Structure 1
């Protein structure tokens, strides 16, 4: 159960993806599409962690 509610690895993975997307967009893409999508995924993970994790902790 500890591993199921641990979002740290996913947050770190999305941070690495965001940096890679920024580097790629700076070189090849003029609109920054990958950077915006990586940032949106990061915000979604943070929202899941913020809103769902306390509910699971209270249910235990």
Structure 2
């Protein structure tokens, strides 16, 4: 159960994806859609970690 509530690996993966999206967008995409989508995914993961993890911890 502790492994399922560990968001560190997902946060690191999204940080790498964000850097790759920034590099791709700087070269090929004029609107920055990949950078924006990677940033939104990072915010969603952080929101899940902040709001849902304490509820899981209290239930254990």
TM superposition score normalised by structure 1: 0.99
The C-alpha deviation readout for 1:2-52, integer Å capped at 9, x for no partner, is 100000000000000000000000000000000000000000000000000
CA distance in 2 between partners of 1:23 and 1:50 (Å): 29
The runs of 5 or more residues in structure 2 that have no matched partner are none
CA distance in 2 between partners of 1:12 and 1:48 (Å): 15
Structure 1: which 4+ aligned runs deviate by more than 2 Å?
A: none
- How many residue pairs get aligned? The number is 60
CA RMSD across the alignment: 0.2
